[in-house]
Chains A and B, each alone.
Chain A
Amino acid sequence: MNILLTCAVLIVPGILPAVVIAGQRPVTPFLVPLATALMAGVAVLAMFVTAGSLMPWFAVVAVAVNLLALAALLKGAWLRRADSSERYPWVTFLVVLVAVLWPLAVLRIPVIGSDARAIWLLHAAMVFGGHNTLVADMTNPSYLFSNPDYPPLYPGLTALVYATQGRVDYHLGVAAIVGLNACTLGVVGTGVMEAVQGQTRTLRWGANLLLVAFLCGAIYGVAGEYAINGYADLLWAGAAVGATLYGLVLSPSRGHFAVACLCLAVAALTKNEGFVTSVIIACLIASRMFTCRPQRAGVWLRMAALGAALAPTVGWIIAVRSRGLSNSFLGSSPESTLTRLSATTVGMWGQLHLVVAALCVLLLGALLLRSHRVGLGLANPARLWAVAVLSTLAIAATYIFGSYEIHWWVGSSVNRTTIFANSLLLTDMAVWAVVAMQGVDQPAWPNPVASANGRLEAADLSSTLTGP
């Protein structure tokens, strides 16, 4: 009974906002728990800066968001069918669902990583304790090891699980986060399927779907144990890949933009590096709007939406800094910068093994398939690569200017901090493969629906990648 209550609390509040954001598309069910998690994170922020406990604040936030969603729904401005003639949306949803759910068979075992317990589940217990407990524990020097300034989405959602159970249940808390991880991969998988937009034959469409299923499996492979042991790395990485795909690769329709904003907000409110990456993605989405969009009406509204997506995390940063909270890894180090740079470079390069394959695919795609990419209304991949490079550099800078002993630090965390870059490269390869399947025996064709806004960008793809 309690499990049903937990599922209801994690799903019901997110349904209406997800429908308003994405309409009736295969991606929508995957957005539902992410929307709930975002509300839980905002509720933690409200509780932290004011008083009370999580459930009342969550109720306030959920009711407010759902009223806004209902108003938008009644206005009819946002609820639309898919932007294109999507083929078999239910089949797409079910295949992607199976592709992201199968590793969850592990959940019958309480696989809980050490950092999951020492950071995330600990913070969730503090949130479960209410405002006074949260503030007292986060400002307690004995808990500095848990990096108290980490954003509150994960603890918020897990504390919601605890509240519905009436007790701290680490196993169920991890299960909820693993479910969120799966949802972010579902967003990525359905996003890649949106690239073909029903313009393909059934057999080829099936091949695309198989490719997407393997993409989800491949991202699970990149994440390894961190996908299911309660770490937050795949959650922010998957959400940030979703934001990049919908905001910087797919045609810049309103539906895609709204999905990108939700993913941005989730990534930013999950982990510090997720926030930095989200700022990078938001800047690139803004630059895309200003430079490539033929119709600039509504650009400022979209800028405001991007700001709103990052606002909860900015609010959290201000709130924790005002209480003097910080993390335990920034500070002075006894090692020289050169030593740290060298160890960081070696460690990260060892994990970024997909770069070479992804570069080969990029080169082949740019030489052979650019006209097909233009026809599908897909954007210049340079922005996706810019996100991967800048995010990786930001993480590298944290290693270089951090305080922990560098060899231990890189060795114990680099396989997690590179999940985002590797997942993004896999997604880029999947998009090129989808384009290639369209281009096997067909000339490039114009897509009146999708390429209206993407044509200019895709045109500059050729100049960027293949010269004049």
Chain B
Amino acid sequence: MSEAPEGLVVAARTRLRRRSAIGIALLGVIVAGSFLVEAQQAVGVTVQLTGSAVAKQYAANLHQFYCLQDEIHGEVPRGAAVAVGSGTEESQELSELVVLWAKPEPSPQHSGWALSLVTPGLCEGVGVRAVLHP
């Protein structure tokens, strides 16, 4: 009488454990798959950025930025108000370039100087033109 129910209980527990093991294995597969896919992307980005062409481009960008700053420092006196325009990529870049050196303004009304980016130039093909308004 007592053996049959005990056997059933043991069988039920075994089934439950097997299902649990399958579930846990499934969980492991999902986690491992997700992590591997994402980690692979990280490796891909690292390899791409360390590639020589991309690396050269980034180095050239930073060199151009510092070079343009040097040009501005050479042409515009420190603390001057400079007209850089507004609402364009060029005006934004010029505002970045004059930080800590000159005071950017949207229009030339109150500015002594007007700045613009020109090509060709000495800084990776780009230069700065500074015009003093009368």
Contact = CB atoms under 8 A, between A and B. Distances in A.
A145 B92 contact: yes
A102 to B, nearest CB: 8
Contacts of B103: 136, 140
Given A118-B92, A214-B39, A103 B99 contact: no
Given A361-B31, A436-B28, A142 B104 contact: yes
B49 to A, nearest CB: 5
Contacts of A103: 42, 45-46
A369 B106 CA distance: 62
Contacts of B49: 106, 109, 111, 225, 228
A251 B20 CA distance: 26
B26 A364 contact: yes
B14 interface: no
B99 A364 contact: no
Interface string B73-99: 000000000001010000110011001
A137 B102 CA distance: 10
Contact of A224 (B32, B41, B59): B41
A427 B106 CA distance: 47
A433 B38 CA distance: 16
A218 B27 contact: no
A224 B46 CA distance: 9
A143 B102 CA distance: 13
Contact of B37 (A137, A221, A360): A221
Main secondary structure of the interface of B (DSSP, over half): helix
Interface string B14-53: 0000001101101110111111111111110110011000
A214 B36 contact: yes
B62 interface: yes
B46 A106 contact: yes
Contacts, number: 147
Contact of A126 (B26, B32, B62, B99): B99
Interface in A89-111: 102-103, 105-106, 109-111
A357 B30 contact: yes
Contacts of A69: none
B55 interface: yes
Interface of A: 102-103, 105-106, 109-112, 117-118, 122, 125-126, 128-129, 133, 136-137, 140-143, 145, 168, 170-171, 211, 214-215, 217-222, 224-225, 227-228, 354, 357-358, 360-361, 364-365, 367-369, 426, 429-430, 432-433, 436, 439-440
18 contacts: A106-B49, A109-B54, A112-B61, A122-B99, A129-B100, A142-B84, A214-B39, A215-B35, A217-B35, A218-B34, A220-B38, A225-B49, A354-B38, A357-B33, A357-B34, A361-B30, A429-B31, A433-B31
Given A125-B99, A367-B23, A436-B28, 13 more contacts: A109-B58, A110-B61, A111-B58, A112-B58, A118-B92, A125-B100, A221-B40, A221-B45, A228-B45, A354-B34, A430-B31, A433-B28, A436-B27
Interface of B: 20-21, 23-24, 26-28, 30-43, 45-46, 49-50, 54-55, 58-59, 61-62, 65, 84, 86, 91-92, 95-96, 99-100, 103-106
